[in-house]
């Protein structure tokens, strides 16, 4: 069936709630209102207010309560209305949730999910991509799907996982991307990258909305005889080191593309992985295309300037091809 990215996530959670009575949702305005983006629209009618819980506006309480419930063997799915507000729950996530299994051995089957990303003029507090905060915080899985198929398969994997999973849904993709998705139950394993496009000349390593930016650029570049490969990481923790090494060994040139700020961003980590896994295979410098080192501005011309664009990928691909 043809599903939007948003509908794929909705359906994934819905099916898991149908399948497993220990799955429940909590968050702000997720009940009768159905959530700010309507991911849980209609859930309360089906699953009842016991399993679709509207909470006070209190992110630390949401994460804390979800964590506590997970210790009793429940599988909570907590929504952040916008992922920017995850900062309010930082201590619960970083010091409570993430460290539990390592320190005292209790499993934490918990999903924290919410809309992230820019391109919708949400301004500095409704457009962020804070995934790197958690990549640098051992004990959390960080999942960033790019397609409806992956979004559904990965949310199901996250709910079934015995670890805390952070699920970053790109709000620009919610209603823009549609894809044929199997009717039957399926999961996408967490930690395996996907080749979004095969190519010979250079590799663009990216994830989430930027996969589509790279795909658009590939069409422009194809007309110029530049054949780019696009690796969609799908999750940042665990990260698929072998898929990264493999694409470098094949094309020998790499662009890392991400939406969040350049400094301390994922590209630095990928460059280090390439250095460790495939240094001898490089035929050119590793190129970074990333957001500016600033807050993400509100006004459309400024936001456009801040964020990576198709023309950035085209320009840098030409330059790297010629290197």
Partner 1 sequence: MGNSKKKSKAGSNGNRPRNGASRSNSQLLGKAVRPFDSAQGENGAPTSNHDVRTYSIPDYRLEHPNFTVRQVAEKDKHGDEHVRYEVTGDRDVPVPHIRDSKYLSKEQAIEIYRYMLLNRKMEIALENLYKQGKVVGGVYFGLGQEACSCASSYALDKDDWFAPMIRNQGSLLVRGFGASDVMMQYMAKADSPTKGRDGTSHFGDIEKRNMVSPISMLGDLIPVMSGVALGARLQGRNLAVMTWIGDGGQSTGVTYEGINFAAVQNLGLVLVVESNEWAYSTPSEMQYRCQDLAERAIGYGIPAVIVDGTDACQVYDAVHEAVARAHRGEGPTFIEAKMMRMKGHAIHDAASYVPKEMFEFWKKRDPIARFENYLLKEKKWMTGKENADLIADVERVIEEEREIAVNSPMPTPESAEGGVFCEEGCHEIKPKYGMPKVKKGTAGYKETEATVHLK
- Binding stretches for partner 1 (CB under 8 A): 6-7, 10-11, 14, 21-22, 24, 34, 36-38, 41-42, 45-51, 53-56, 58, 60-76, 91-92, 95-96, 99-109, 120-122, 126, 138-139, 141, 162-163, 171, 174-175
Token digits of residue 323: 């290197």
Smallest gap from Cβ 18 to partner 1, in A, equals: 8
- Is residue 126 part of the annotated active site? The answer reads yes
Report the residue number, 73 or 301, with the smaller CB distance to partner 1: 73
Least distance in angstroms from the C-beta of 87 to partner 1 = 13
Nearer to partner 1, 78 or 205 (CB): 78
Pairing of strands 178-180, 164-170: unpaired
Closer CB to partner 1, 64 or 291, in the complex:
64
Q: What tokens appear for 93 in the block?
A: 């996530």
What are the structure tokens assigned to 125, written together? 């507090």
**Bridge partners for 195 per DSSP:** 231
Q: Which of 101/318 has CB closer to partner 1?
A: 101
Residue 89 DSSP SS3: helix
If the CB atoms of residues 202 and 237 are measured against partner 1, the closer one turns out to be 237
Distance CA 78, CA 322 (A): 47
Closest C-alpha among 204, 185, 226, 207 to residue 318 = 226
Q: How far is the CB of 316 from partner 1 (least distance, A)?
A: 29
Closest C-alpha among 237, 9, 270, 259 to residue 142 = 237
Q: Residue 57, SS3?
A: coil
The tokens describing 155, both together, are 């949310």
Minimum distance from CB of 131 to partner 1 (Å)? 17
2-31 burial code (b ≥16 CB/10 A, e <16): ebbbbbbbbbbbbbbbeeeebbbbbbbebb
CB 220 within 8 A of CB 173: no
- Which one, 6 or 208, has the nearer CB to partner 1? 6
Least Å distance, CB 309 to partner 1, is 19
Measured in whole angstroms, the distance separating CA 275 from the mean position of its chain's CA atoms is 24
Q: What are the CA-CA distances from residue 99 to residues 61, 103, 217 (Å)?
A: 18, 6, 40
Please give the Cα distance from 76 to 41 (Å, whole number): 17
Looking at 101, 121, 126, 260, which residue is catalytic? Answer: 126
Q: Least distance (Å) from partner 1 to the CB of residue 156?
A: 15
**Which among 23, 6, 12, 38 is positioned nearest to 182, based on CA atoms?**
12
User: Which residues have a catalytic role annotated?
Assistant: 126
């Amino acid at each position: 069936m043809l599903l939007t990215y948003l509908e794929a996530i909705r359906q994934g959670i819905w099916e898991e709630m149908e399948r497993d009575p220990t799955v429940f949702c909590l968050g702000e305005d997720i009940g009768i209102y159905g959530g700010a983006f309507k991911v849980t629209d209609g859930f309360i009618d089906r699953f009842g207010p016991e399993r679709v819980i509207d909470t006070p506006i209190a992110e630390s309480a949401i994460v804390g309560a979800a964590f506590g419930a997970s210790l009793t063997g429940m599988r909570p799915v907590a929504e952040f209305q916008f992922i920017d507000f995850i900062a309010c729950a930082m201590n619960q996530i970083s010091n409570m949730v993430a460290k539990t299994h390592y320190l005292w051995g209790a499993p934490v089957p918990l999903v924290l999910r919410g809309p992230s990303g820019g391109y919708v003029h949400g301004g500095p507090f409704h457009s962020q991509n804070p995934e790197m905060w958690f990549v640098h915080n051992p004990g959390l899985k960080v999942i960033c799907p790019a397609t409806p198929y992956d979004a559904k398969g990965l949310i199901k994997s996250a709910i079934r996982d015995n670890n805390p999973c952070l699920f970053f849904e790109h709000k620009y993709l919610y209603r823009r991307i549609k894809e044929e998705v199997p009717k039957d139950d399926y999961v996408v394993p967490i930690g395996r990258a996907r080749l979004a496009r095969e190519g010979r000349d250079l590799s663009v390593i990216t994830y989430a909305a930027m996969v589509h930016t790279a795909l658009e650029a590939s069409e422009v570049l194809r007309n110029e005889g530049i054949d780019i490969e696009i690796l969609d990481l799908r999750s940042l923790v665990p990260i698929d080191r072998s898929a990264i090494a493999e694409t470098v060994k094949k094309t020998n040139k790499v662009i890392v593309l991400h939406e969040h700020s350049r400094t301390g961003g994922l590209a630095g980590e990928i460059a280090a992985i390439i250095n460790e896994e495939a240094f001898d295979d490089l035929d050119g410098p590793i190129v970074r295309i990333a957001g500016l080192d600033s807050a993400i501005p509100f006004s459309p011309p400024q936001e456009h300037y801040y964020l990576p664009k198709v023309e950035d990928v085209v320009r840098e691909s030409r330059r790297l091809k010629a290197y």
